[in-house]
A and B are shown apart, each in its own frame.
Chain A
Amino acid sequence: MLTITDPAQKKILALLETQGRQGSALRVAIIGRGPGGFQYDLRFVGSGEKGLEDVVVDAGGFQVFIDSQSAPNLEGSTIDFVEGISQSGFRIDNPSSIWTDPKAKAVQQVIDTRINPGVASHGGYVTLLDVKDDVAYIALGGGCQGCGMADVTLKQGIEVMIREAVPEIRQIVDTTDHAGGTNPFYQPSKGGQSPLA
């Protein structure tokens, strides 16, 4: 199911000790999909916080809890801990394809090859969150999150590109929390400059 390498196991045990959380479990979950693949959440939880349908992996010295939705997509994954000069951290190698639905795969390809290279010039990126029936759920991030022109980018760009490439998709739903954007590329204001000058 899931392999924990020796360096990762040692690091996790060390963290449990330094945080005084011996006996706790590691919960691993897939929380989304992004430009780099799956997005993960790793956190310590009490041993009593195991869900009824959780998959449990004995990692030697601690247990790993995986929720039933994440488990299929974590099959065959390896959690490693890498130490480098500039940065260190856990790395998850996951052989699973990010999408299995052909429509989702096609939408992801449009995002990866056409949309994200475009919005990257404004420091933005688009994440495909899900595809259900003929609806694609996306989120805008970086410079697109909270941007005053996000609606234009969405309706005059992203929607056109996705529908053109994947005609089965009839609706694109932007689920972005635009109020949470911290660095929008364009920002609205009132009382600007008169064009009379």
Chain B
Amino acid sequence: MPPDRTSRTTGQVAERMDRLLLLMTTTTYRAGAFLDAARRLNIPVVVGSDCPQVLAAANPGGTLTVNFLESDEGSRTITEFAGQYPIQAVIAADDDGVILAAEASAALGLPYNSVEAVSAARNKYRMREVLAEAGIPTPRFRRISADENPGDVAPPVPFPCVLKPLSLSASRGVIRADNSEQFIAAFHRIVAILRRPELAAQGGELGREILVETFLPGVEVAVEGLLSKGRLRVLAIYDKPDPLNGPFFEETIYVTPSCLPTATQEKIVAHTAEAVKALGLWHGPIHAELRVNDQGPWVLEIAPRSIGGLCSRTLRFGDGISLEELILRHALRLEAESFERERQAAGVMMIPIPHGGILREVRGEAVAESVAGVEEIRITIPLGQEVVPVPEGARYLGFIFARGESPEGVEAALREAHRRLTFVITPDREDPEEKLESLSAERGHRADRRIATAG
């Protein structure tokens, strides 16, 4: 176990030279946020990733290539590395790294969640089993094989139901079915997703399984929290004001603080804490998703990691520190001045992909950013690339961030900014010369502006 450390200043942190292992695959959105936080704390960082970093040779103690899919092998790589470059904490930036983080932490004797607890949280079916056994309200569920004939298994739970592939996360492949016909169509659609070469090659046994559970009406919320020896400290509760009723479940707006009644929020926190305890999670960040209806909160998911995408930018604590800095401080047992979220309301819209095709142009960014309360718009898919909506897709067009005095005002700002944006998406084979020329000109203009600013 690392020595107990308490410090308030980055200078003192630097003197101790704690080395932190950040596990993140090359598909992460979060590299910048975590590295910025480490920089602010002046903590030496090792980035452990699934593919070699391009300048790895220049900084041997700064990056590490590890096998995320074979976590025992990945853990061995980490422990060998730690022999030369001692590691004081392991943090997984995303879902992909949590099991590896658990195995490596166990091997190194560092505080983290157990492999068993993390594995249960990463497996939707196992999580449902654990929560149900603990008496925590959870939808009725059943697991079916992608190799089965859907006509033979329908309906495994009462309609309406939701089908979820066990090997995928977020909203990918999640489809609602209200009757047998829709169930069979959804089943075949998910099987087609799972057969995609990039997924089939890594899917293994779990990649052939589908969770079917009852659809729960109600509003959805997300809880961001931090566990210390099993004790849950809630950092934020987000409302998701867009109805998530299917047939697909694309995440869009998150706004905090929640507008739900205090009593309801207390129940949400209580259910989350019970679920965390049932799963055996006890250390580090958690992100929970719950449905709330007239029967109370229902736990849909507990993930042993922090909020995904770029959404953490909505959170600031104390005198402005980021969620990532809070997580790093917690992992290194550094004192945090405050876990209190700022007073202002904040929100994010994950910009949905309206239809598939090639993203040719984004119009209206400047006027969208001029909406009062909107802080930033980040388009994260490059022009000229294919965009795929859910349930097949796994990316957003980008993110809109806003802050304001009230959650309602933030939500309105996000919607207005989104309304002002136009995404030109053309069918795959269309390649209009004129449009491409005009885009080239725009990129040239951007480059000029950038150079002028730098100079």
Contacts and interface: CB of A to CB of B under 8 A. Distances in A.
Interface stretch (B43-51, B106-114, B217-225, B240-248): B43-51
Interface in B86-123: 95-97, 99-100, 119, 122-123
Nearest to B443: A180
A102 to B, nearest CB: 19
A137 B379 CA distance: 23
Interface in B345-392: 378-385
A179 B397 CA distance: 11
Nearest to B448: A31
B380 to A, nearest CB: 6
Interface centre among B379, B382, B395, B443 (most CB of A within 10 A): B382
Interface in B277-300: none
Contacts of A160: 58-59, 62
A196 B123 contact: yes
A197 B202 contact: yes
Contacts of A161: 55, 58-59
Contacts of A137: 454-455
A49 interface: no
Q: Categorize the interface residue count of chain A.
A: 35 or more
Say which size band chain B's interface belongs to.
35 or more
Interface stretch (B7-15, B26-34, B253-261): B26-34
A23 interface: no
Interface string A131-158: 0000001010000101011111101111
Interface stretch (A2-10, A75-83, A118-126): A118-126
B206 interface: yes
A95 to B, nearest CB: 22
A195 B69 contact: yes
B404 interface: no
A146 to B, nearest CB: 5
Given A32-B451, A180-B443, A192 B54 contact: no
B28 A148 contact: yes
A176 interface: yes
A197 B204 contact: yes
Contacts of B273: none
Interface string A154-183: 011110110000000000010111011111
A121 B169 contact: no
Interface string A58-74: 00000000000000000
B214 interface: no
Contacts of A173: 454
B54 A153 contact: yes
A193 B58 contact: no
Contacts of B31: 148-152
B53 interface: yes
Nearest to B199: A193
B167 A196 contact: yes
A124 B29 CA distance: 19
A21 interface: no
B384 A182 contact: yes
Given A175-B450, A177-B450, A179-B379, A193 B99 contact: no
A182 B382 contact: yes
Interface of A: 31-32, 41, 114-115, 118-119, 121-122, 124, 129-130, 137, 139, 144, 146, 148-153, 155-158, 160-161, 173, 175-177, 179-197
18 contacts: A32-B447, A119-B54, A121-B54, A139-B450, A149-B26, A149-B31, A156-B47, A173-B454, A182-B443, A184-B382, A186-B26, A190-B172, A190-B396, A193-B198, A194-B122, A194-B167, A195-B99, A197-B205
Interface of B: 25-29, 31-32, 35-36, 39, 45, 47, 49, 51, 53-59, 62-63, 68-69, 71, 95-97, 99-100, 119, 122-123, 166-172, 198-199, 202-207, 308-309, 378-385, 394-396, 443, 446-448, 450-451, 453-455
